[in-house]
């Protein structure tokens, strides 16, 4: 009896809080027509609905609320687009209104948001994005990097062929880190069995990925972030310091080897030359440069290696899938040569497998952007500050 009265009081308290929350705190929003979505609870909002596979939970919730829905996660508004047309609206039509990212604890690792992934939209961010697109990620840059990728895949294939046992995540991380480091520093960072600074760097990237993927309640209820309730912030600062020290060592080595690159500047040379003739007013600070390099290593290694691992796992667990993929490769490539990137156009089944792996096993946690101004989509209001 004693227990049930307390239980009843607790429910009553929650209902009263919910009433005040909806009717008082949403006052400023009385005339705002938000997209449909689950109502959620006071303080935590719909956080409890995300579960440990947010992509799957959100897809299930979208079945009820439609392709554009609104969720309150903690005290943060978020909209979710879940069909191609709606995704196009946000990623193309409204892209210019969603350029900033929310400031989250993970930004502590990447130079307190002086990098490109978490950095604030402005001249420095535009310069970092322009240079990265021009030299690393844009279509022309990808064409230029094809030889490096092809050579590193060659090293990978030989290493797998010659090994008695293969540590798949380890060997994939090495390949990806080496592809990026050749473009950035003009050297291969990680050699087989390497115990030097390069292998410490790889461990650090793994540490940074693990920390930044952790759920941190302060990112959803910013008013309690200062309490650092899960103690993640200290860990992130520690990782940041280790990374910074290593980055300084790498940059010093790069400066010392400047003579080897005479007339052949790599990405770090270009960044250090302040963007050259880009015409942008703000030269990059050393924190911008180190943050951007960290972005490339974090965003470029773990994402690709975990996606490839998942693809291998899916193929191994489904003999029919593996058989069809093999049949396509035998028919299009044959036994006498290695697959190259230009073959992809003729391998629709392999491409479909990749797309399905991207869909089923997204490599990145939710890394949203924020609306810089009020927007309107399909008759609904998306207030400024909403994440998407």
- What are the residues binding ligand HEM (CB under 6 A)? 116-117, 129, 132, 136, 180, 295-296, 299-300, 303-304, 307, 363-364, 367, 369
Residue 25 or 358: which CB sits closer to ligand HEM? 358
Residue 72 or 369: which CB sits closer to ligand HEM? 369
| Residue whose Cβ sits closest to ligand HEM | 300
Q: How far is the CB of 310 from ligand HEM (least distance, A)?
A: 10
Q: How far is the CB of 367 from ligand HEM (least distance, A)?
A: 5
Residue 21 or 90: which CB sits closer to ligand HEM? 90
Give the C-alpha separation, 358 to 259, whole Å: 42
Beta strands in the chain (DSSP E): 68-73, 76-81, 375-377, 380-382
278 backbone dihedrals φ, ψ, rounded to 5°: -65, -25
Q: How far is the CB of 307 from ligand HEM (least distance, A)?
A: 4
Give the C-alpha separation, 153 to 151, whole Å: 5
Enumerate long-range contacts of 84-92, CB under 8 Å, 24 or more apart: 86/377, 86/378, 89/377, 89/378, 90/377, 90/388
Is there a contact between 227 and 218 (Cβ–Cβ < 8 Å)?
yes
Q: How far is the CB of 85 from ligand HEM (least distance, A)?
A: 18
Give the C-alpha separation, 239 to 247, whole Å: 12
Q: How far is the CB of 279 from ligand HEM (least distance, A)?
A: 20
Residue 129 or 242: which CB sits closer to ligand HEM? 129
Q: How far is the CB of 179 from ligand HEM (least distance, A)?
A: 8
Q: How far is the CB of 6 from ligand HEM (least distance, A)?
A: 45
Q: Which residues in 58-76 are b (16+ Cβ under 10 Å) and which e? A: beebbeebebbbbbbbbbb
Q: How far is the CB of 16 from ligand HEM (least distance, A)?
A: 39
Neighbours of 77 (CB within 10 A): 23
Question: Which residues are registered as beta bridge partners of 377?
Answer: 380
Residue 180 or 250: which CB sits closer to ligand HEM? 180
Q: How far is the CB of 97 from ligand HEM (least distance, A)?
A: 13
Residue 130 or 238: which CB sits closer to ligand HEM? 130
Terminal C-alpha separation, the chain: 46
Burial of 319 (0-12, 13-18, 19+ CB in 10 A): exposed
Helices 286-316 & 197-213 angle (0-180, nearest 10): 80
DSSP string, 246-299: HHHHHHHHHHHTGGGGTT---HHHHHHTTTTT---S-PPPHHHHHHHHHHHHHH
Residue 92 or 337: which CB sits closer to ligand HEM? 92
DSSP string, 187-205: S----TT--SHHHHHHHHH
Residue 141 or 339: which CB sits closer to ligand HEM? 141
Give the C-alpha separation, 233 to 296, whole Å: 22
Residue 72 or 135: which CB sits closer to ligand HEM? 135
């Amino acid at each position: 009896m004693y227990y049930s009265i307390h239980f009843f009081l607790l429910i009553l308290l929650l209902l009263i809080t919910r009433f005040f929350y909806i009717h008082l705190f949403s006052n400023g929003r009385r005339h705002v027509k938000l997209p449909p979505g689950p109502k959620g609870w006071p303080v935590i909002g719909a956080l409890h609905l995300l579960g440990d596979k947010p992509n799957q939970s959100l897809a299930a919730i979208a079945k009820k609320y439609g392709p554009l829905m609104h969720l309150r996660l903690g005290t943060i508004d978020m909209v979710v687009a879940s069909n191609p047309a709606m995704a196009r609206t946000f990623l193309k039509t409204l892209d210019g209104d969603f350029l900033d990212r929310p400031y989250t604890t993970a930004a502590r690792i990447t130079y307190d948001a002086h990098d490109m992934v978490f950095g604030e939209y402005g001249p420095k961010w535009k310069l970092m994005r322009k240079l990265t697109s021009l030299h690393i990620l844009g279509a022309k840059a990808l064409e230029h990097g094809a030889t490096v990728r092809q050579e590193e895949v060659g090293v990978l294939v030989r290493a797998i062929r010659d090994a008695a046992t293969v540590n798949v995540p380890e060997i994939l991380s090495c390949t990806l880190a080496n592809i990026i480091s050749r473009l950035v520093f003009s050297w291969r960072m990680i050699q087989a069995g390497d115990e030097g600074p390069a292998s410490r760097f790889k461990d650090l990237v793994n540490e940074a990925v693990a920390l930044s993927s952790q759920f941190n309640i302060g990112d959803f209820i910013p008013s309690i972030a200062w309490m650092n309730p899960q103690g993640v912030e200290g860990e992130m600062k520690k990782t940041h310091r280790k990374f910074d020290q290593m980055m300084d060592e790498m940059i010093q080595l790069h400066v010392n080897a400047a003579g080897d690159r005479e007339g052949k500047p790599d990405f770090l040379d270009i960044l250090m030359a302040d963007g050259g003739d880009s015409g942008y007013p703000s030269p990059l600070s050393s924190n911008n440069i180190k943050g951007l390099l960290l972005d490339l290593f974090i965003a470029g290694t773990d994402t690709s290696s975990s996606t490839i691992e998942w693809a291998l796992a899916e193929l191994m667990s489904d003999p029919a899938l593996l058989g069809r993929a093999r049949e396509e490769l035998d028919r299009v490539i044959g036994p006498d040569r290695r697959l190259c990137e230009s073959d992809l156009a003729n391998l629709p089944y392999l491409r479909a497998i990749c797309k399905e792996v991207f869909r089923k096993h997204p490599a990145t946690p939710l890394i949203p952007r924020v609306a810089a101004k009020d927007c309107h989509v399909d008759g609904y209001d998306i207030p400024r500050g909403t994440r998407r």
